[in-house]
A and B are shown apart, each in its own frame.
Chain A
Amino acid sequence: MNRRSTIPFGPQHPVLPEPIQLHLVMENEKIIQALPAVGYIHRGLEKIAEKKDYIQDVYLAERICGICSFMHSQNYCQGIEELMKVTVPDRAKYLRVIWAETHRIHSHLLILGLLADAFGFENLFMRLWKVREQILDIMEKTTGNRVILGVCAIGGVKRDITPELADYVLRQLESVEKQLPELCDSLLKDYSVRQRLIGVGVLPKDKAHELGAVGPVARASGLRMDLRERGYAAYGDLDFKMVTEEAGDCYARTTVRVKELYTSLELVRKAIQRMPQGPIAVPVKGTPPADEVLARIEQPRGELNFYIRGNGTRNLERFRVRTPTFANLPALLHQLTGCELADVPVIAICIDPCISCTER
């Protein structure tokens, strides 16, 4: 019988952007079992949310994650709006789509860059992040901040995009779209990159369904799961088309993210062109009633769920967050079982782990 040993992967590891520990039970170079250890950056946000009033919680929800911050505040606002029966103006819905999709582009470029870094292609990593800067510039110019936008509010949004700014956004998107093919070819067609990604960390469709995988991880295994198809915010008017792949390996997950970059660019463009005139917010008065709501939204990493329960006062009775990375962890452990130690960084990065969200 081969000798078994346990290797701790993380919490501090060059490829991990955030701390999570994986205890890898090894037999020679092969992983027999992977056990996660989380809790390094727990902040108790759900409890803090009960202490603050429901408007202050918008800012708190936005700070759950530093990458997809706008979507957290959007999901929270959509949940409270459903609870309080508030109808958001159409223009605000389109503006929410614009900022949510720019967030998705910057998040996907970020993780594709980190993936390139994980398999040692540092030049590609830096060039992908250079393109990402242009997306951050769009957000800074339209909202006043690069990542924590702070523009989503209960009843609408706080800032408008003027025609001049819309022109600027379209120009930037055109420039980003021109640079993408060269970078995406390096990611998807390069011989060395394909060798590192194809057939690595395979998650079959039935297993993805059984383990509750979400987002690009599920879509790369052939599951048709994308909440944007349900048409929340303004997605119903933008002819959104879901991206799926069948192979279920790291290459398929990368392909899904690359194709989603183009989908998001198209969505932002359509949202700007079709955005109606009108108010960007409605005043909201009163307090959330003693009722509950489950708010769902499609984040760059998958489905984000907020369970919100009001009690008739300005404070919430309960605020529960289920993030996509939490849902993808069982799928990650399944992918790691049976793989080689050298493939662990690529597999771990390929689920796009966001540990701050997961631990809240």
Chain B
Amino acid sequence: MVNLTNSIFRKLFSRPETLRYPFVKRELPEGTRGRIDIEIDKCTFCGACEKRCPANSLKVTREPKSWTINPYSCIICGYCIEVCPKKCIIAHKEHYSPNT
């Protein structure tokens, strides 16, 4: 009990552990796998990413040229980034916002 009392007094004079979200946003470290995006100009629509995606979240068609991702089923594992022959799939550290 004594050590808890000490701790309570220490905490009274320390800064809060939480952030005032949404006014203060948490800074994400470099390398965070937030969301998957594509540099569409480089894409050859080969479909390698669609074939390997463990969650079947990618849809790639050659005619018409399209690359779409289902953000709700994507598990952001990064396997598509590894297998892309043109290295045009990238991971951003920011997550999808709720309105996308």
Contact = CB atoms under 8 A, between A and B. Distances in A.
User: Would you call the interface of chain A mostly helix, strand, loop, or mixed?
Assistant: helix
A100 to B, nearest CB: 19
B38 to A, nearest CB: 19
Contact of A140 (B3, B32, B76, B91): B32
Contacts of B78: 150, 158
A141 to B, nearest CB: 5
Contact of B33 (A59, A150, A186): A150
B77 A141 contact: no
A210 interface: no
A56 B3 contact: no
Given A56-B54, A186-B3, A145 B32 contact: yes
Interface residues of B, number: 17
A148 B83 CA distance: 20
Contacts of A55: 52, 79
A127 B14 CA distance: 14
Contacts of B91: 144
Interface in B51-92: 52, 54, 75-79, 91
A130 B4 contact: no
A123 B54 contact: no
A123 B75 CA distance: 34
Given A56-B52, A60-B54, A130-B17, A145 B33 contact: yes
Nearest to A126: B17
A23 interface: no
Given A140-B29, A145-B32, A182-B7, A190 B1 contact: yes
B77 A185 contact: no
Contacts of A322: none
B75 A59 contact: yes
B3 A182 contact: yes
A47 to B, nearest CB: 15
B22 interface: no
A30 interface: no
